[in-house]
Amino acid sequence: MPPVPTEQAKPLTLTLTDPQAYGRSFSETYDSWYSTVTDAEATAGFVADRCPGGVVLELGVGTGRLAVMLRRQGLEVIGLDASDSMLRRCPADVHRLQADMTQPPLRPGLDTIVLCGFNTVFNLASEHLQQKLFHRIRPLASVLILETMELAEPSGNGTRSVAADSQVGLKQVVDGTVVVTTTSQDAARQTVVGRHLEISNEAVVSRPWMLRWATVRQLDAMAAKAGFDLSERYGSWDETPWPGSVGNEPSVAISVYR
Ligand SMILES: C[S@@+](CC[C@H](N)C(=O)[O-])C[C@H]1O[C@@H](n2cnc3c(N)ncnc32)[C@H](O)[C@@H]1O
């Protein structure tokens, strides 16, 4: 039997902290793998209820999964993303802007509402970059809405990771293709480096990624440093109460800062 060719999606030297790294790994598969990963319709309804000006800036708009629903709510959407390959897939009725979200090329005083959904803030690979995001968004936004996964529970003054250091995660079979996820994390830096290995009959494709997680307590502190106050927090886009950090179970947190 001939060997199955092995493709590296991108060279191994690709730095995962590059703002374009996520798009390089996932733009081809994003829509088929993640179209229903969170409730896009409920997200758009939640944002529209808090957007009297009718303009929303979405950070990390990607292929437009959320932006399409925001448009259906009648909102103007400025969709910012670092990745040209993600943005190319985003519908043209979104004002697409290729930029790093820590350096948004927008005038202060825009006074828009800003949405950063589906853990996108965790794509920024250090606390420094996440703090920079809050500082840079503050002059642009009257309201900042973040959706994050609470991955760790606070313990004492520090944080304790709830996941093991290295894991082989979910194996999915999609149309005969197997996807194996491997992760390894650095608890001190709060970073996780992972790889989705997509194994089909034709090829093995490696899709590497990296995230730097933060607890809601840490996000609140970064937001406060930049001059934002927490005004609402929920456990879902349907406004169910946020359950807090519970045990080892990851929980969604929707945070609204003003
Ligand atoms: C998890 S995807 C979310 C896409 C979309 N918001 C959604 O919910 O389907 C994260 C997106 O953030 C983008 N991204 C990552 N780092 C970025 C950065 N530094 N500046 C701007 N966009 C970035 C990626 O290219 C990707 O499109």
- DSSP assignment of 54-86 equals -EEEEET-TTSHHHHHHHHTT-EEEEEES-HHH
Claim to verify: residue 143 and residue 226 sit in the same structural domain: yes
Asked if 216 and 253 touch (Cβ cutoff 8 Å), the reply is yes
Q: Are residues 161 and 241 in the same domain?
A: no
Statement to judge: residues 40 and 127 lie in one domain? yes
Q: Same domain for 253 and 170?
A: no
Confidence of residue 246 (pLDDT cuts 50, 70, 90): low
Question: Measured from the CB, is residue 23 less than 6 Å from ligand 1?
Answer: yes
- Residues 217, 201: one domain? no
Same domain flag for 39 and 127: yes
* Ligand 1 centroid to residue 81 C-alpha, Å: 6
Q: Which residue has the CA at smallest separation from atom 17 of ligand 1?
A: 19
Classify residue 201: in a domain, yes or no: yes
State yes or no: pLDDT of 13 exceeds 80.
no
Position 168 scores a pLDDT of: 81
Range of the domain at 205: 6-14+156-211
Pocket residue to mutate for ligand 1, from 65, 69, 83, most atoms within 8 A of Cβ: 83
59 alpha carbon to ligand 1 midpoint, in Å? Answer: 7
Verify that 101 and 188 share a domain, yes or no.
no
Same domain, 134 and 168: no
Q: Is 22 in the pocket of ligand 1 (CB under 6 A)?
A: yes
Q: Is residue 59 part of a domain?
A: yes
**Residue 165 confidence class, pLDDT cut points 50, 70, 90:** confident
Q: List all residues 6 or more positions away from 157 whose beta carbon is below 8 Å from its beta carbon.
A: none
Q: How many domains does the chain have?
A: 2
Residue 1: pLDDT band with limits 50, 70, 90:
very low
What was the pLDDT predicted at 248? 66
Asked if residue 95 and residue 111 are part of one domain, the reply reads yes
**Which of 45-54, 104-113, 153-162, 167-176 ranks highest by mean pLDDT?**
45-54
* Cβ-Cβ contacts under 8 Å for 171 (sequence gap 6 or more): 178, 179, 180, 181
Q: What is the pLDDT of residue 257?
A: 98
Q: Is residue 86 in some structural domain?
A: yes
Q: Is any atom of ligand 1 closer than 6 Å to the C-beta of 65?
A: yes
Q: Rounded to an integer, what distance in angstroms lies between the CA atom of residue 116 and that of residue 66?
A: 10
Q: Looking at the structure, tell me whether residues 90 and 108 fall in a common domain.
A: yes
What's the average model confidence in pLDDT over 127-140? 97
Instruction: Determine if ligand 1 sits within 6 Å of the CB of residue 144.
Output: no
219: CA distance to ligand 1 center in Å? Answer: 18
**Which of 116-130, 172-186, 223-237 shows the lowest per-residue confidence on average (mean pLDDT)?**
172-186
Q: How far is the CA of 209 from the centre of ligand 1 (A)?
A: 12
Ligand 1 atom closest to the Cα of residue 119 is 1
How far, in Å, from the CA of 123 to the mean position of ligand 1?
Answer: 7
| Ligand 1 atom 14 nearest Cα | 60
User: Would strands 191-199 and 6-8 be described as parallel, antiparallel, or unpaired?
Assistant: unpaired
Tokens of 131: 């703090």
CATH of the domain at 179: 2.20.25
Q: Does residue 94 line the site of ligand 1, with CB under 6 A?
A: no
Q: Tell me how crowded residue 168 is: count the other CB atoms within 10 A of its CB.
A: 10
Please report whether residue 19 resides in a domain: no
Residue 176 lies in a domain: yes
- For residues 143 and 168, membership in a common domain is answered with no
Same structural domain, 94 and 104: yes
pLDDT at residue 23 greater than cutoff 70: yes
Residue 52 in domain: yes
Q: Which two tokens stand for residue 219?
A: 């996000």
157: pLDDT strictly greater than 60: no
User: Residues 90-115: pLDDT tens digits?
Assistant: 999 999 999 999 999 998 887 799 99
pLDDT band at 154 (very low <50, low <70, confident <90, very high): very low
25 belongs to a structural domain: no
pLDDT grade, residue 39 (50/70/90)? very high
* Residue 124 within a domain: yes
